[in-house]
Amino acid sequence: MNTAAYLLALASPLLSVTALAGTKAATSPRIIDPPAAVHGMVLFGSDVIYASHIPMYHAPHDWQALFQVTLTHPTVDAKALYLHQIASGVQPLITIKPLPFVLPKLLNGEVHSFAASLYHGNFEEDSEELMQGMTVTVKTVLFKQHLSLDMAALPQLTYFLIPTSLTTAMLVHRISAPDNFDQIVQVKAVAVPLPTTPAGTVSTVVFPGVSDTAAARLRAGDAIELTRTAEGWSATISAGSSPSAAALNVVEDFYCTPGPDFYGACGVGT
């Protein structure tokens, strides 16, 4: 199947978001398979490890996808090596470069693991290769959404909340229109219990009145106040010192890359 036909097939509304915030991934029609490719991902987490697919707006990389994963290697403790990179408690940029595989087979549950190399930094830029021959096994597909050049922008800044320990979590930006951005920030609970989500789910954090642009994105030093809603969380941002009512502090803005190519870093003022 050529690229045009593949994109046309993916335009069906049945193949949009298949794992809504706060709900388990629903059964969906089989995603049509593109060719095998290298699907780079960002790793994050500590008690539980997660992977975020580095997307593009064209096949075969046109999916935002979040996974809960495990790391193994035949001769090395892969998880321990990963955890050593985050021993300070501050999440650095850790990426994986898999051997080519068919991403929709992973999203559909037809395959559950793939081989990859582990990098400190972005494997496509300046980075240190830490390990080859690691096996990444997907325990849960937390979220998957097809991306296209004609998709609408979200009306307000939106993230997924993913707890990674008793006191820390990650906020993963939900990608929409082609001039959007891919971002993950580390947050820490402030004197209140960290919001939790059921296993195998994600919750949305929406910032009413804040535009969904890279210029308005979360940054290190921001304090976030949360209010529970039926759909997830409504949030407000206070830059600089944290107010006493804040639930979360952004402690590290370790990954941000702009669309439509999702290459390079988000600018300081954008």
pLDDT in tens, 84-116: 999 988 999 999 999 999 999 999 999 999 999
pLDDT of residue 202: 87
Share of the chain above pLDDT 90, in %: 61
Q: Is pLDDT of 208 > 50?
A: yes
Task: Give the confidence band of 140 by pLDDT, cuts at 50, 70, 90.
Answer: very high
31-75: per-residue pLDDT in tens?
Answer: 567 888 899 999 999 889 999 999 999 889 999 999 999 999 999
Q: Is the pLDDT of residue 219 over 60?
A: yes
Q: Given a cut of 90, is residue 236 above it in pLDDT?
A: yes
Q: Which of 94, 139, 115, 125 has its CA nearest to residue 36? A: 115
Per-residue pLDDT averaged across 121-127, rounded? Answer: 86
Pick the most confident of 32-36, 49-53, 125-129, 236-240: 49-53
Question: Cα separation of 61 and 263, whole Å?
Answer: 13
Would you tell me how many other CB atoms lie within 10 Å of the CB of residue 207? 20
Question: What are the extents of the domains in the chain?
Answer: 3-146, 157-258
State the pLDDT confidence band at 76, using cuts at 50, 70 and 90.
very high
Provide the mean pLDDT of the chain: 84
Higher pLDDT, 118 or 30: 118
What pTM does this model have? Answer: 0.84
**pLDDT value of position 1:** 42
Q: What is the pLDDT of residue 23?
A: 40
Q: Is the pLDDT of residue 215 over 60?
A: yes
Q: What is the pLDDT of residue 192?
A: 65
The predicted structure's pLDDT at residue 17: 35
d(CA 40, CA 33): 18
What φ, ψ does residue 79 adopt, rounded to 5°?
A: -65, -40
pLDDT over 90 (residue 6): no
| Cβ-Cβ contacts under 8 Å for 16 (sequence gap 6 or more) | 145, 146
* Mean pLDDT within 19-41: 62
Q: What is the pLDDT of residue 161?
A: 94
Q: Residue 77: what pLDDT?
A: 97
pLDDT of residue 3: 39
**Residue of 131 and 166 predicted with greater confidence:** 131
Q: Which pLDDT belongs to residue 92?
A: 94
> Which residue has better confidence, 37 or 197?
37
pLDDT at 21: 39
